[in-house]
Amino acid sequence: MLKPIDVLILISYSGETEEVIKLIPSLKSFGNKIIAMTGNGQSTLAKHADIWLDISVEREVCPNNLAPTTSTLATMAMGDALAVALISALDFKPMDFARYHPGGSLGRKLLTRVSDVMHTNIPKVSRDTSFHDCLLVMTSSRLGLALVMDNDKLVGIVTDGDLRRALLGNPGVVNENVATFLTPNPHTVKASAQLSEAEAYMLDHKIRALPVTADGGDEVVGVVEIFD
């Protein structure tokens, strides 16, 4: 429902479009402010507007100078400029976008928390786990990794890449324990973090998955993948 505090943007390149001009008396009676986007500063629309935004072009790219082509680009550019100016003036953040547009893919991504998509069936091993047993644990999970735990504390991670590098460097590693080829002090993310932040972090650090820790401490509660 239209309210007196609302600002209307009316668009007509000629400034004389009948359907648009007919709105002016009602909008004036309601007390609405009118922003006119038109290429004719002497038009009815421009003269009755509180603000006139000039979208005039020298000519249309259409060979006959008839079909709206260049003028439509000018209109879109002006609209984009207004949107960007408002984003700056209102200090509009990504989460604001998500709140006002939750149904879109970007909105869903920004509103989704790591806890919403993390895997809770976590493959775990210890430092003393053999290469063979570690491989079995990792194979039982599609994550392609295993978390190395010591008394319920995360001390390392083993990934498919770690196994390949270990084998290439020393084929005899198949007779060693996890302590030989684990990656210590792995990156982690909190369960309440935004999924978009976790994905950006993984991309920046060129990693495919992150152990997830509880918000109130270091307890491991899941694993999140970049493709979740």
Is 24 among the domain residues?
yes
The count of structural domains within the chain is 2
d(CA 63, CA 73): 16
Is residue 222 predicted with pLDDT exceeding 60?
Answer: yes
Is 154 among the domain residues?
yes
Lowest mean pLDDT of 15-29, 94-108, 116-130, 199-213, name the range.
94-108
Is residue 190 predicted with pLDDT exceeding 90?
Answer: yes
Is 104 among the domain residues?
no
Query: Is 125 in the same domain as 180?
Result: yes
Q: What is the CATH number of the domain that holds 44?
A: 3.40.50.10490
Query: Is 18 in the same domain as 88?
Result: yes
Is 199 among the domain residues?
yes
Is 167 among the domain residues?
yes
Is residue 110 predicted with pLDDT exceeding 80?
Answer: no
- Residue 227, pLDDT score: 62
Is residue 106 predicted with pLDDT exceeding 80?
Answer: no
Query: Is 26 in the same domain as 87?
Result: yes
Segment 49-93, tens digit of pLDDT: 999 999 999 999 999 999 999 999 999 999 999 999 999 999 988
d(CA 66, CA 59): 9
Closest-CA residue to 113 (of 205, 196, 174): 196
Segment 133-187, tens digit of pLDDT: 999 999 998 899 999 999 989 999 999 999 999 999 999 999 999 999 999 999 9
Report the mean per-residue pLDDT for the chain. Answer: 92
Domain coverage including residue 192: 114-225
Query: Is 13 in the same domain as 46?
Result: yes
Q: What is the CATH number of the domain that holds 141?
A: 3.10.580.10
Segment 16-50, tens digit of pLDDT: 999 999 999 999 999 999 999 999 999 999 999 99
Query: Is 39 in the same domain as 75?
Result: yes
Query: Is 121 in the same domain as 218?
Result: yes
